[in-house]
């Protein structure tokens, strides 16, 4: 009887060891059937309203950094910050700032050129200034409020205001 129990225990232990080895081996193999799912890029809406050149410039520095780190970036310029998008812009947005002598408008144009960032003025900006689309630098347009509203309520969009 002891011999039967000992044999049964030995077989059970060997079975457990074999199952454990098989499970470990299966878990350590990389599946070729299910490739790694790519996470969507984070979305960042940068809302700039400040008339302060340093604040405007920093908003563009952080927009560039966010885009370079994989975020989908979109800039909305409202109020005095809309001047950054004008062909004939005030000195406050075209004068270089320390430490790299870059202007808010100049860096905004670099952001547009080097990333997929969409830059828009708020829908009220042009009519409020008595201007039309031709007053804006190339690549900037008036925002569609419905699109901006959809971004704002999208739980995955981060909203930064300057």
Q: What is the mean pLDDT of residues 124-136?
A: 98
Per-domain boundaries in the chain = 1-30, 43-161
pLDDT band at 116 (very low <50, low <70, confident <90, very high): very high
Q: 5-14, 89-98, 99-108, 139-148: lowest mean pLDDT where?
A: 5-14
pLDDT of res. 123: 97
For residues 37 and 144, give the distance between their C-alpha atoms in angstroms, rounded to a whole number.
32
Contact in structure between 122 and 76 (CB atoms under 8 Å): yes
Q: What is the mean pLDDT of residues 63-79?
A: 97
pLDDT of res. 40: 75
CATH class of 43-161: alpha beta
From 109, 1, 104, select the one nearest 48 (Cα to Cα).
104
For residues 19 and 12, give the distance between their C-alpha atoms in angstroms, rounded to a whole number.
11
Q: What is the mean pLDDT of residues 30-48?
A: 76
CA distances from 31 to 21, 27, 35, 38, 145 (A): 18, 9, 7, 16, 45
Torsion sign (Cα): 76, 86, 61, 78:
negative
């Amino acid at each position: 009887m002891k011999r039967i129990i000992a044999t049964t225990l030995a077989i059970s232990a060997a079975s457990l060891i074999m199952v454990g080895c098989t499970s470990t081996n299966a878990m350590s193999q990389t599946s070729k059937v299910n490739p790694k799912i790519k996470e969507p890029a984070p979305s960042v809406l940068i809302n700039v309203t400040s008339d302060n050149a340093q604040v405007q410039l920093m908003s563009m520095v952080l927009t560039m950094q966010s885009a370079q780190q994989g975020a989908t970036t979109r800039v909305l310029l409202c109020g005095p910050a809309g001047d950054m998008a004008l062909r004939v812009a005030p000195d406050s947005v075209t004068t270089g700032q320390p430490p790299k002598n870059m202007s808010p408008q100049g860096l905004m144009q670099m952001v547009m050129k080097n990333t997929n960032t969409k830059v828009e003025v708020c829908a009220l900006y042009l009519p409020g200034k008595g201007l039309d689309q031709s007053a804006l630098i190339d690549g900037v347009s008036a925002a569609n409020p419905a699109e901006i509203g959809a971004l704002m309520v999208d739980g995955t969009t981060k909203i930064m205001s300057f």
